[in-house]
Amino acid sequence: MLPISVDFLNIMNEIIKQKTFDDSLRNASLSALVELCKCNQVGFRKLDIFSKQTVPILMSVISEIIDDDINEWNKLDENFVISLTETYSYA
């Protein structure tokens, strides 16, 4: 994992979560984050900041995109949530 990765995640998280920023800036930041994460999937999943900050921010962005209330996310099938957690958790 590159030392810059944590700093990069902090910057991207801040840009992506700012609803007052232009959508094109937020989208570009999201794309850059995705590309970097694709280069080191396991490394990023192991970062505390990724699971505690980045994932919730991305879930918020998804809820914006699909114009859905976050309460709908709470209605997800429990087995689906468990499966998702096991798939992306790290030991």
pLDDT in tens, 9-46: 899 999 999 989 998 999 899 888 888 888 888 888 78
**CA distances, 54 to each of 9, 17, 77 (Å):** 7, 9, 22
Structure confidence by residue, pLDDT tens digits, 61-83: 877 766 656 566 666 666 666 67
Q: Give the residue extent of every domain in the chain.
A: 4-88
Mean pLDDT, range 38-57, rounded to an integer: 85
* Extended strands (E) in 1-91: none
Cα–Cα distance, 46 to 36 (Å, whole number): 14
Q: What is the pLDDT of residue 68?
A: 56
Whether the pLDDT of residue 91 is over 50: the answer is no
